[in-house]
Structure 1
Amino acid sequence: MAMDTRSSWLRRYETEAPPRMRLLCLPHAGGSAGFFHKWRAAFGDDVEVLAARYAGRQERIAEEPLTDLEEIADAISADLLPYLDVPLAIFGHSMGAAVGYEIAIRLQARHHVVPELLMVSCCKAPHLRTPREAGFGTDEELLAEVVRLGGTDAVLLEDPDLRELILPAIRADFTAVARYNARHGVPLACPVVGYVGDNDPDITAAHVAGWADIAPKGFDFRVLPGGHFYLVDQRDALVEDIRARLAPQR
């Protein structure tokens, strides 16, 4: 693993040899780069994993977290530029999927770079989203929402000291998601793959299947057992599916 001094926004898991491809992994609201630590060598010796390091957590705990999803996408897109010497694939979970969509748009519009693949997990298609006022006004309401959705963050929040440290980042991310006003009808220049858990309390298969409307280069879709954080228990199945999609075409 390398903390590349070129980037405050990316954690880089270097391959021994020069990579054939890079995979950018974007965490959920309240999540951190560490969520993808077990993915660091999961896709072969020639696929280098980059994990987004959102402000306000882990090594960046002292920094003010951003509350605008497009500002997050702007910052990560800028830090990605030195890594575009090989093809790039993008995987984002929940909020990370929306960030990934915005990054893909920026790369194709501003830098004439088209990702090899955008993989979106447990996230409504952009044109199905509606911005809303950020809810969960009290800490208790916000904590209840995190617990409802499940995932590893809910366990961390049981510790009062950890809760005090990470709650500001969670609140900032939930605010960014609530305020996000996605561009309607902007087609992607790359293929898209959607993933969802069959028991997600909020995101349905139809919500994710809607990405097909803005994926003229192709869309595929998988439903896996589990809720909003299906990718914790179904990590092996998901990783195997992604590995197959990133494999060299013969």
Structure 2
Amino acid sequence: MTVVQPGEREGGAWVRRFHPAPEARTRLVCFPHAGGSATFYHPVSQAMSPAVDVLAIQYPGRQDRRSEPCVDDIAKLADLVVGELRPWADRPLAMFGHSMGASLAFEVARRLEADGVTATALFVSGRRAPTAFRDERVHLADDDRIIAELKRMSGTDAAVLGDEEILRMILPAVRADYRAAETYRYTPGPDVSCPIIAMTGDDDPQVTLDEARKWADHTSGGFDLQVYSGGHFFLTHHAAAVMRAMTDRIEGRSAVGD
């Protein structure tokens, strides 16, 4: 496995490191939700540094990568991300993903473990387990229906939701992400051996508690379910508590089941 030198780690299309923490023992890799971008995790990076070195994944087709083709398949996206993360595995990696990002984080963790790199923890937020299937087809809907879905989930900045021109501009990436999330199918095989910590809102229309609990079936390393008040984007209202729970787990102050 090739490991890059510290001076070579800054920047890059896929991996964003907003607040480098070179002394941190662990890196936390954050995966955005459908329609999201790496900048969603800028506050997380700021808050958790220097205790944790936060890396945020930037998918193609948005912001400064808007001219690049979107990737609308979780498996393909996972293969690409794994290639970008290998150089960062010179210290332990934990992973956090919200919604679509949780499915992607799981698939990336599986691939890395098969390659000899086992995550220290996998935090999956706002997403049902891979085997908790729902037949969803929002990605096939017209633009107005997708915009309505964005507003229903409240996962997009209010200023963006009120700007029709910006909304239309980001729709190709949103549609591609919805297609990736909704067409994702779990492939039976080795899962992960790291602990999985599932986080969910108690009023999330996308995830029932039973669907969240099914994440336990995908690890041999222990499972914990943390339930917060709120809907699909509960984490925006509980950011401090979520980050505290992750930091405690990453730094060994809490264990699965605590």
Superposed pair shares fold, TM > 0.5: yes
Residue 121 of structure 1 and its aligned partner are, at CA, apart by 0.5
Match of 2:168 among 164, 171, 174: 164
1:63 aligned partner, one-letter code: E
Residue 152 of structure 1 and its aligned partner are, at CA, apart by 2.8
Residue 153 of structure 1 and its aligned partner are, at CA, apart by 4.1
Say whether the 8 Å CA contact 2:193–2:221 is kept in structure 1.
yes
Tell me the distance in 2 between the aligned counterparts of 1:195 and 1:16: 25
Residue 44 of structure 1 and its aligned partner are, at CA, apart by 4.3
Residue 182 of structure 1: SS of its match in structure 2?
Answer: coil
Residue matched to 2:120: 116
Written as runs of structure 1 = structure 2, the 5 A alignment for 1:127-146 is: 127-130=131-134, 133=137, 135-146=139-150
**16 and 188 in structure 1: CA distance in 2 versus 1, 3 angstrom threshold:** closer
Residue 134 of structure 1 and its aligned partner are, at CA, apart by 5.4
Residue 186 of structure 1 and its aligned partner are, at CA, apart by 3.7
Residue 69 of structure 1 and its aligned partner are, at CA, apart by 1.1
1:10 aligns with 2:18: no
1:182 aligns with 2:186: yes
Compare 141-150 and 185-194 and name the one that shifted more: 185-194
Residue matched to 2:4: none
**160 and 249 in structure 1: CA distance in 2 versus 1, 3 angstrom threshold:** closer
Tell me the distance in 1 between the aligned counterparts of 2:36 and 2:229: 21
Instruction: Provide the TM-score with structure 2 as the length reference.
Output: 0.89
Compare 158-167 and 51-60 and name the one that shifted more: 158-167
- For structure 2, which runs of at least 5 residues remain unmatched after alignment? 1-6
Say whether the 8 Å CA contact 1:17–1:46 is kept in structure 2.
no
Question: Which deviations, in whole Å up to 9, do the C-alpha atoms of 1:119-151 show, x marking residues without a partner?
Answer: 000111111225655544210011111111112
1:52 aligned partner, one-letter code: I
Question: Which deviations, in whole Å up to 9, do the C-alpha atoms of 1:85-132 show, x marking residues without a partner?
Answer: 0000000000000000100110011x2110000000011111122565
Residue 13 of structure 1 and its aligned partner are, at CA, apart by 2.9
Say whether the 8 Å CA contact 1:192–1:220 is kept in structure 2.
yes
- Compute the RMSD of aligned alpha carbons: 2.1
Identity %: 38
- For structure 1, which runs of at least 5 residues remain unmatched after alignment? none
1:61 aligns with 2:102: no
Written as runs of structure 1 = structure 2, the 5 A alignment for 1:5-154 is: 7-109=12-114, 111-130=115-134, 133=137, 135-153=139-157
Tell me the distance in 2 between the aligned counterparts of 1:41 and 1:134: 34
**130 and 200 in structure 1: CA distance in 2 versus 1, 3 angstrom threshold:** closer
1:209 aligns with 2:213: yes
1:238 aligns with 2:242: yes
Residue 162 of structure 2: SS of its match in structure 1?
Answer: coil
Tell me the distance in 1 between the aligned counterparts of 2:148 and 2:162: 11
Instruction: Provide the TM-score with structure 1 as the length reference.
Output: 0.92
Kindly tell me the number of residue pairs found equivalent between the two proteins.
248
Residue 24 of structure 1: SS of its match in structure 2?
Answer: strand
1:194 aligned partner, one-letter code: A
Question: Which deviations, in whole Å up to 9, do the C-alpha atoms of 1:168-202 show, x marking residues without a partner?
Answer: 10000001111111123643111100000011012
